[in-house]
Amino acid sequence: MDFTAEQIERYSRHILLQDVGVEGQEKISNGKVLVIGAGGLGAPILLYLAAAGVGTLGIIDGDVVDLSNLQRQVIHFTPDVGKPKVESAKEKILQINPEVKVVTYHQFFTAENAFDIIKDYDFVVDGTDNFPVKFLINDACVLAGKPFSHGGILRFDGQTLTHLPGTACYRCAFHSPPPPNAVPTCSQAGVLGAIAGMLGTIQAAEVLKFLTGAGDLLTNRLLTFNAKTMNFRTVNLKQNKKCPICGEHRSITQLVESEQAVCEIKSKK
Amino acid sequence: MSKIKVNDELQEVTLPLTVTGLIQLNNVLQPDMVSVQLNGEFVERGEFDATELKEGDEVDFLYFMGGGC
Ligand SMILES: [Zn+2]
């Protein structure tokens, strides 16, 4: 790929980086990334990946913008209330960077569509707000051998890990989804708006590191932080022999969805 | 008193103490929802009661975080 003078100027701060350079920017420009959920995490992830010039950005979200989203979902603006989130996000992405190809899926990520959607992408990012889908993303990506970033936030806390084939997965640490309503979600317990930005930008940085090959990914590590103390820590993980999807005795060989939990969480909104 | 590390912080505890006991000592909000690593290996929930801690052990409590929206 030959960059135009305008592209070289647009991406000059990446190109200046020794670990990125023209070569790394080319990899970013050829990258195909799927962001699942255009909400609190998806917003900063999409904004930074668009600005970075990721070639293709897929966005999947079945929701429309709600007034209560605007406290943290910084890709959506007040006039967007009522608009599908994928459309609202696409408009902002193209304003930041018209070079990005945006593919929108105005639907939810399910066991039925999972493999078909992720197959077109190099990397998947979890920006969802409930456990059934977080586990579904893990399972689909592990079974398909697809790298992904897990992210979760609640109140003043956030956590994230990056999975590549052969490294610890989300189920290695968290065996199976908690029973419905056992662990509160943001819509039940609240979240400090900026936490979404803190965690989402970490996930976006992981994507750019993955695409360029710069640095060490958060593989076999779980990064957690608490914004009250501003303590960050990484817990070393390793693949769990008893993991139901990547361990020695695998009980999960196909996608199953905890439908009921999804419905219950949805109706709580 | 014996020293063990919990989430990177040194704690003084009285042995014998099980993983379940340590969870109680740390006032973990939802004891049945916490994932526990002991010296880098996950302990299955069913083994919490039977797993005895010893001096110098390093324990990580990991919590579910399901938000993102
Ligand atoms: Zn696993």
DSSP-assigned beta bridge partners for residue A159: A152, A224
At B19-53, the pLDDT tens digits run 999 999 999 988 989 999 999 999 999 999 999 99
Q: Does the beta-carbon distance from B68 to A196 stay under 8 Å? A: yes
Q: How far apart are the first and last CA of chain A?
A: 46
A123 contacts A211 by C-beta, under 8 angstroms: yes
B63/B31 Cα distance (integer angstroms): 10
Which residue has 């709580």 as its token pair? A268
pLDDT value of residue A181:
83
> Can you list the residues of chain A whose pLDDT is less than 50?
260-269
pLDDT value of residue A180:
87
Q: Which of A39, A69, A222 sits opposite B68 (nearest CB)?
A: A39
Mean pLDDT over B5-11 rounds to 96
At A59-71, the pLDDT tens digits run 999 999 999 999 9
Residue B14 has pLDDT above 60, yes or no: yes
At A65-99, the pLDDT tens digits run 999 999 999 999 999 999 999 999 999 999 999 99
DSSP secondary-structure letter at A201? H
Q: What does A112-157 look like in DSSP terms, one character per residue?
A: TTHHHHHTT-SEEEE--SSHHHHHHHHHHHHHHT--EEEEEEEBTE
Instruction: Band the pLDDT of B7: cuts 50, 70, 90.
Output: very high
Interface ipTM: 0.91
The single-letter code of the amino acid at A69 is N
Interface of B with A (CB under 8 A): 7-8, 30, 32-33, 35, 37, 40, 42, 44-45, 60, 62-69
Which of chain B's residues have a Cβ under 8 Å away from the Cβ of A186? 67-69
Residues 6+ apart with CB under 8 A from B4: B10, B11, B13, B22, B53, B55, B56, B57, B58, B59
Question: What are the structural domain ranges in chain A?
Answer: 14-236
- Please state the pTM of the whole predicted model: 0.94
Domains of chain B: 2-63 (3.10.20.30)
pLDDT value of residue A189:
87
Which class would CATH give A14-236?
alpha beta
pLDDT value of residue A185:
77
How many other C-beta atoms are found inside a 10 Å radius of the C-beta of residue A233?
14
A188 contacts A264 by C-beta, under 8 angstroms: no
